[in-house]
């Protein structure tokens, strides 16, 4: 039984895996980590190993707390992974992107896979059927686009995102919604089509916090999975147990 910990700037996600199956997931603020961690430890005494992915843990000494209870792997750019990394600057590659590619190897071995993660940024990552990571793209995320229009203009309001928007906006708010929501969906559609034209039998994974707002038509080759990153971290932990 493994405990996966993925800590962002403000929130922490934890997931308990048993025999590579996710059995519980939690999301809470990092200030609540100690309390929630203790609850999980007591609820699942069978946990023996943990993987921690974070850029903020050390400031609250959270890793040392986890190490008192389990065997801990601190995930970073030098952690062995189950694919060949062809990125030209691997030291700058985000840990979340690495974990997503590992998850693609685990779930879709020997297949061409495009992973789209709609979070703070929208990232696109390509894993080939030869288990090689080639790279991808980064574009502004949903919230970033709304905030940018508001911040860098004198009169445009900060608009609340919605899942759908008319093509033709009849107010300033609706025009912003049209530009951002429809613009991102066209970006997603065009990117998928471009990758599909270069990589045959392409499988597409759509994940991330904004994936529900930016819902795209799910076809036979497109899958939505909100736990894809956590599954990738667990796979990296299991992979390193055998090294």
Instruction: Please give the Cα distance from 243 to 240 (Å, whole number).
Output: 5
Q: Does residue 201 have an active-site annotation?
A: no
Instruction: Please give the Cα distance from 235 to 149 (Å, whole number).
Output: 39
**5 close to 66: Cβ distance less than 8 angstroms:** yes
Catalytic residue among 6, 58, 96, 166: 96
Nearest of 120, 144, 146, 124 to residue 135 by alpha carbon: 124
Catalytic residues: 96
């Amino acid at each position: 039984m493994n405990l996966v910990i993925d800590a962002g700037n403000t929130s922490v996600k934890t997931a308990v895996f048993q025999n590579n199956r996710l059995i519980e997931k939690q999301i809470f603020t990092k200030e609540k980590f100690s309390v929630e961690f203790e609850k999980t430890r007591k609820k699942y005494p069978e946990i023996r190993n943990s993987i921690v992915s974070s850029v903020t843990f050390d400031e609250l000494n959270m890793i040392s707390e986890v190490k008192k209870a389990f065997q801990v792997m601190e995930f970073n750019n030098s952690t062995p992974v189950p694919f060949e990394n062809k990125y030209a600057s691997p030291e700058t590659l985000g840990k979340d992107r690495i974990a997503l590619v590992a998850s693609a190897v685990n779930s879709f071995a020997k297949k061409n896979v495009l992973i789209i993660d709609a979070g703070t940024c929208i990232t696109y990552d390509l894993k080939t059927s030869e288990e090689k990571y080639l790279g991808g793209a980064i574009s502004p995320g949903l919230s970033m686009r709304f905030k940018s229009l508001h911040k860098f203009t004198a009169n445009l309001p900060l608009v609340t995102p919605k899942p759908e928007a008319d093509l033709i906006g009849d107010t300033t708010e609706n025009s912003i919604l049209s530009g951002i929501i429809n613009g991102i969906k066209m970006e997603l559609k065009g990117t998928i089509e471009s990758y599909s034209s270069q990589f045959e039998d392409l499988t597409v994974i759509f994940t991330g916090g904004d994936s529900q707002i930016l819902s795209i038509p799910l076809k036979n080759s497109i899958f939505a999975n909100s736990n894809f990153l956590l599954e990738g971290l667990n796979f990296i932990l299991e992979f390193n147990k055998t090294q």
